[in-house]
Amino acid sequence: MGLLDFIKKIEPDKKKSPLLHTAYDAFLTFAYAPNTVTKGGVHIRDGMDLKRLMVHVVLAMQLCYLFGSYNIGHQHFVAAGQYLGFMDGFHLKLAHGLIVMLPLFVVTHVVGLGIEFMFAAKKGHAVEEGFLVSGALIPLIMPPDIPLWIVSISVAFAVIFGKEAFGGTGMNIWNIALLSRVFVFFAYPTEISGDTCWISGYETLAAGDSAQYGWWHTSFFNSIFAHFDWPLFDSAKTVVVDGFSGATPLALGYQGGMEAITAHYSMSQIFWGAIPGSIGETNKAFIIFGALFLILTRVASWRIMFSMVLGASVMGMIFNAWDFTLFMNVPWYDHLILVSFLFAMAFMATDPVTASGTNTGKWIYGFFIGVVGMVVRVMNPAYPEGWMLAILFMNSFAPLIDYFIVQSNIKKRISRVQ
C-alpha to C-alpha distance for 90 and 46, rounded to whole angstroms: 44
pLDDT the model gives residue 117: 79
Q: Which of 14-18, 79-83, 191-195 has the highest mean pLDDT?
A: 79-83
pLDDT grade, residue 155 (50/70/90)? very high
pLDDT value at 353 more than 80: yes
CA–CA–CA angle 262, 87, 208 (5° rounding) = 70
Helix-, strand-, coil-residue percentages of the chain, each rounded to 5: 65, 0, 35
Model confidence band, residue 133 (pLDDT cutoffs 50, 70, 90) = confident
pLDDT at 46: 58
Q: What is the pLDDT of residue 171?
A: 82
User: Region 213-241: what's the mean pLDDT?
Assistant: 93
CA distance 320 to 329: 5
Interval 375-391 mean pLDDT = 83
| 187 vs 356: CA distance, rounded Å | 29
Question: Please, which pLDDT band fits residue 249 given cuts at 50, 70 and 90?
Answer: confident
pTM: 0.86
* Residue 214's pLDDT band (cuts 50, 70, 90): very high
Task: Tell whether the torsion through CA atoms of 102, 105, 108 and 111 is positive or negative.
Answer: negative
Q: Does residue 34 register a pLDDT over 70? A: no
The answer to whether residue 398 scores a pLDDT higher than 70 is yes
Residues of the chain with pLDDT > 70, as a percent, come to 85
Averaging pLDDT over each range in 118-132, 187-201, 274-288, which range is the top one? Answer: 274-288
What's the rounded Cα separation, in Å, for the pair 361 and 221? Answer: 52
Mean pLDDT of 175-186: 92
Mean of pLDDT over the chain:
86
**pLDDT tier at 191, thresholds 50, 70, 90:** confident
Contacts by 100-103, CB closer than 8 A, 24 or more apart: 100/69, 100/72, 100/144, 100/145, 100/200, 100/201, 101/65, 101/68, 101/69, 101/72, 101/139, 101/144, 101/279, 103/148
Per-residue pLDDT, 33: 60
Q: Is the pLDDT of residue 75 over 70?
A: yes
Residue 256, φ and ψ in degrees, nearest 5: -150, 20
Lowest-confidence pick of 124-128, 157-161, 207-211: 124-128
Q: What is the DSSP string of 45-86?
A: P-S--HHHHHHHHHHHTHHHHHHHHHHHHHHHHHHTT---ST
14-18, 29-33, 358-362 — most confident range = 358-362
Look at residue 390 in the predicted model and tell me its pLDDT.
93
Whether 8 has a pLDDT exceeding 80, the answer reads: no
| pLDDT beyond 90 at 76 | yes
394 pLDDT band (50/70/90 cuts)? very high
pLDDT interval class at 180 (50, 70, 90): very high
Other Cβ atoms closer than 10 A to 266: 13
Mean pLDDT of 101-105: 95
Per-residue pLDDT band at 258 (split at 50, 70, 90):
confident
Whether residue 318 is predicted with pLDDT greater than 90 in this model: the reply is yes
Residue 121: its pLDDT value, please? 74
Q: What is the pLDDT of residue 172?
A: 87
pLDDT in tens, 37-68: 555 555 555 556 666 777 888 899 999 999 99
- Please tell me the predicted confidence (pLDDT) of residue 324: 79
Contacts 24+ apart (CB under 8 A), 223-227: 225/91, 225/92, 225/95
Instruction: Average the pLDDT over 344-373 and give the result.
Output: 93
pLDDT of residue 287: 95
pLDDT of residue 257: 82
211: three-class secondary structure by DSSP: strand
- Residue closest to 145 by CA, chosen among 240, 88, 58, 212: 212
- Give the orientation angle of helix 2-9 with respect to helix 18-31, to 10 degrees: 170
- The region of weakest confidence among 124-128, 134-138, 206-210 is 124-128
For 200, other C-beta atoms within 10 Å of its C-beta total 24
Query: Residue 70 above 60 pLDDT?
Result: yes
User: Looking at residues 251-261, what average pLDDT do you find?
Assistant: 83
**C-alpha dihedral over 165, 167, 169, 170, to 10 degrees?**
-120
Pick 156 or 125 by higher pLDDT.
156
